[in-house]
Amino acid sequence: MFRGSLTALVTPFRNGTVDEAAFAALAERQIAAGTHGLVPCGTTGESPTLSKDEKRRIIALTVEVAAGRVPVIAGTGTNNTAETVEMQRFASQAGADAALVVAPYYNKPSQEGLFQHFKAVAEAADLPVIVYNIPGRSIVDISPATMARIAALSNVVGVKDATGDITRVTAHRLAIGPDFIQLSGEDATALAYNAHGGTGCISVTSNVAPELCARFQEAGLAGRHDEALALSDRLYPLHRALFLAPSPGPAKYALSLLGLCTDELRLPLTGPEDAVKAEVKAAMAAAGLLQA
């Protein structure tokens, strides 16, 4: 159910508020382009600066737009276990298909603290949990041994791995088993991640190039390596450009060039500099998304 190209949706803003019409249109565009799942309220959705009410509304709106056509994996994770439990229960009631739960950031919990956090969240609602391991942002790294303990919890079904270490796929599979869903959290290494046994990517680039990302994942998962490699090469400049400045700044700028939303961000994020914008434009042209 959770495989292929899963888009970590941006949250469009207009004059400081969530632009619900633009968000709904972006989600609909994803489905029409063949995206295999929607992930609202993740890092790419600027979740740290969304209010609780905004998160609830965005999750509910995503479920409404998806209407069962693709799974919705709601970003419910925070660095506060009680708040994450609250969001987990809301996402379940709202009809989400799963929750993406990030390792608690800033607090720097121990491996035991990480396990207890995910235990509390997994037990809070009857909703599949995808663990989000992103040490570059959260500072803490969920070790393979701790991941195996977490994977044994009821409702925990998989991981979004943004460690950049593709050997984790093998380590997790050997420690947990082949049924544990492993999704890349890094577009640029998604080809290698799947080659090691992953089954998809929770993608930033697919905000901008949903059809290409979906085709890339479908080719790779079907064993059409040459096709997947060619699509990966075509997408690589865009993968690179979208992370030359803090995400989702470049992605929102790219979407603004396509007329799909504004490039407005919430502080402390600011927009990319002109040199980065030029790189984004060039990468979009190389991918066939804009005229050169």
Residue 19 near residue 257, CB atoms below 8 Å: no
Residue 213 near residue 35, CB atoms below 8 Å: yes
Residue 187 near residue 204, CB atoms below 8 Å: yes
Which SS3 state, helix, strand or coil, does residue 18 take?
strand
Residues 6+ apart with CB under 8 A from 158: 2, 128, 130, 131, 180, 181, 182, 183
Q: Which of 132, 252, 253, 277 is catalytic?
A: 132
Q: Is 52 a catalytic residue?
A: no
Length of the chain: 292
The residue whose two tokens read 């737009």 is: 65
CA–CA dist 9, 42 (Å, integer): 7
Q: Is 160 a catalytic residue?
A: yes
- Find out whether the peptide bond into 248 is cis, omega within 30 degrees of 0: yes
Q: What is the DSSP letter of 45?
A: G
Q: Which of 55, 160, 252, 277 is catalytic?
A: 160
Question: Looking at the annotation, which residues are catalytic?
Answer: 132, 160
